[in-house]
Structure 1
Amino acid sequence: MSREKVPILVVDDQPEGVLALEATLAPLGHPVVVARSGREALRHLLHQDFAVVLLDVVMPEMDGFETAQLIREREKSRNTPIVFLTALSQGEVPEFRAYAVGAVDYLLKPFEPDILRSKVSIFVDLFRKTELVRRQAEALREVLQREHERERAELYQRLEAERLRVREEVLRKEMEAGRHHQRWLEALLSELPTPLALLEPGTGRTLFANRAAQGLAEGCLVYEEARRLRPDIVLTGGDHRPLSEESLPAARAVRGEVLAGVRVEWRSGEQQGAALAFSSRLPPMHGRPETALLALFDVATLTK
C-alpha cells in the first residue's frame, strides 16, 4: 500500500501555474491530474478519488471558493482535502471564507516547493491509510458475510435434518400404528366365517387369508402354492369348464376387475363345492400400497 501511486488534482486556469505545480510535485512520483476550471475539477472528482485538491482561488466563471463549496456538497468528494493556492497578499486572503468552505490549508504564491511537497505528502499518507482502513473494513465485511452465510447454511442444514428426522419419526409411528392396526384387523378377519383374502396388485401375491379362506377348497382359491400341492383339485367356472390361472377369481381381482358373484366350483374325487366371488380395491393406508380384497361365499353355506 505504501508504494501505491495516489492521484493529486491541480486546479488552475493559468498554464504557468500548472507547470510550476507539476514541476514541484514531480519528485513525489504521484500522478497529477490537471483541471483548467472549477467545472472541470468537479467532473474529475465525480469519477476519481484524490489525495488532495490544490485549488487556485482566482479563476474566471467559478472561483476557488465556489468550487470548494460544490466539492463539499457532494457525498463522494466532501472529505477530500482542499488546499488553496493564491497570489493574493497576506492581508487580502479571506481566511475565514476559505476555512468556511472546507479548506484545510492555503499557501501564498510564490510558494516554497519543499513546504508544498511536505503538505501534499502528508495528505497522500493520510489517503493511503484511509484507503487501507477502507479495504480492511471491506475485507472484514466480506469475511463476516461469508461467516453469516456459512452459519445460515449450517442452520438450514440442521433445520432440514431435524425436519427429516421428525418426518421419519412420524412415518415410523404411523407405520407402527398401521402394523398394530393391521395385526388387529387380521386377527379380527381371521375369526370371521366368511372366506377373505388380501391380494397384492402387480405380483398377485396373497398377503393375507383368514382361516375360512384357507379351509375353502383346501386354500386353492387363494394360494398358488396350495394349487401346486393339490393337483387333484379341479377348479371350474359356472359352465363347468376348467379355469386357467389367469381366469381364477384371485387373478382377476388382482388385475382390477370388480367381481360381483362370479361362480367358481371345485371337485376332488367325490368331494365338490362351489363359491361366489366378490372383489373390491382397498386404497393405500399406513404405508401399505393399494390391495385387492377377495371375498368368497360358500354356496353350501348360503344354501343352508
Structure 2
Amino acid sequence: MDTLLKNAFKMQIQSKEGFEFEEFIDELLLLKYGVDNYTPIRRIKDKGNDGTILSEQKILACYAPRKYSKADFETKVLGAKNKEGDFEKYQKNWKTEFPNWEIYVNHEVAPEQLTLIQGLDGNTSIKGIDQILMIIDELASNKKRKLASYLGIENFFIQDYIQDIINDLLNATGIEDNILHFDRKTLVPPQKKIELNFEQEDWDGMNSEMLLVMEEFNTIANILSGYEVDEINTLKRRIINDYNKLSGNFKERLYSLTEQYTREYGNLKDDEYGKCVKSLLLYMFEQCLIGKKTDKEQL
C-alpha cells in the first residue's frame, strides 16, 4: 500500500470504538480466513468471545477505547472487583476447546499491554494497528478493495492502484526518452476524438465510458505532479511504444493494451485494476499521445 492508502485505513480503523471496532475485525477476518474458518459472535452475552478463528483454535477479544488507559485495559483483560475480565471468561468457557487467545486493539500496542498479555497463563497474543495494517496489506487486491469500500475509502484505493500502475510501467522500461509535449490549447472535446478513432456503432458506448473514467483524470494528474518531468516523459514514451507495437484499429489496440498491462502488473480478474489501467490509457488518449489526431491537434 502507498502511504496515502495506508494512512486512510489507519485513520478509519483508529476511529472505530466498541462494537464498531468488533464489526470491523469481523469484516477483516472473514476476508482473511473465509466463512468456513472464521465465526463472528453476537455482541452481547458472548461469554468472553468476540470472534473465533476455527482453523487456529483461537478465541478473540477486542478493545477499542476512545482514549487508551492502562487501568481500563487491565480491567478489560483481568477484570475487577465483582467483574470478570475477558481472559477469565475465556478460561472458563472456551479454553478447553480453543487453546489460543488473542486480543485486538485499535491503537499501537503499548509496552505494558504486551507485558500483560505475554504474562497470562496460556498461548496468548495481542495485535495492534500496525499488525492490522499488515494483515490488510497481505489481502488479495479484490478483498483489500472490499475492505476499503466497507470503510468508505474507495477513492484512496483507486489512487493506490493508479500509483502502482505508473510505478510498474516506469520500472519496466529502459526506453531512451524524448521530451513529449502537448498543448492544451489544441485539445478538442473527447467526443470528436472518439468519432475519429472508433466506428460509429461504438460512439455512444465510448462516450459513456470516457465520462466514467474522466472522473479519475484529476487523480492521475495529481499523482503525475509528484514525478520528475523525465519520469513522466518516460512513462508516456513507454505507453506510446507499447501501443505502436500492436496491430488493429484504435479500439482493438486500447483493449489489447489494457489487457496486457492488467495481466503483467495486476490481475485479469480484478475489474477495478483493469478500469484504472484503461483510465490511464484514455488519459493519454485525451492528451493526443495515442490514437488518431484531429487536424487541429496535428498542427
TM bracket, shorter-chain basis? under 0.3
Q: Flag the structure with larger Rg.
A: 1
TM-score w.r.t. the length of structure 2 is: 0.26
TM-score when scaled to structure 1?
0.26
Q: Which has the higher contact order (CA 8 A, sep 6+)?
A: 2
Higher strand share: 1
